[in-house]
Amino acid sequence: MYSEISAAELETQLKDGKSINLIDVREPDEWQEGHIKEARSIPLSELQDRISELQQGDQEIVLICRSGGRSGKACDFLQAQGYKVVNVTGGMLQWPGEVAFGS
């Protein structure tokens, strides 16, 4: 089973300056409507083709979507490939911090 973190815990870690390998797996239109500025957009539909873009050193990969469902599927897939992953429970619906817009 993979690890989980709440959106509020994620915000605290980012505010504290922790370097986080954060991937937003929502589709491009959802990304445009608002995302965490530290995140990178790799939609779930493209994840398998773009898997080489995920890893950043030994950092675990933190995945977020709208509510936690798609990021959970991404975690299942990536964990099976041997990656260390963390799912953001509640996703962007629970995100208490600021959001960035556009690309």
Rg, C-alpha atoms of the chain:
12
Q: Which of 61, 66, 62 is nearest to 91 (CA)?
A: 66
Q: 10 Å Cβ neighbour count for 98?
A: 9
* pLDDT number for residue 103: 76
CB of 1 closer than 8 Å to CB of 74: no
Could you tell me the pTM of the whole model?
0.95
Mark whether 65 is an active-site residue: yes
* pLDDT number for residue 89: 97
Residue type, 63: L
* pLDDT number for residue 29: 96
Name the active-site residue from 23, 42, 63, 65. 65
* pLDDT number for residue 57: 82
Given a cut of 80, whether residue 56 has pLDDT beyond it is: no
* pLDDT number for residue 87: 98
How sure is the predictor about 67, in pLDDT bands with cuts at 50, 70 and 90?
Answer: very high
Angle at 80 (CA atoms; ends 21, 24), nearest 5 degrees: 30
pLDDT digits (tens, 9 = 90+) for 13-43: 999 999 999 999 999 999 999 999 999 999 9
Q: H or E element: which one contains 80?
A: helix 69-80
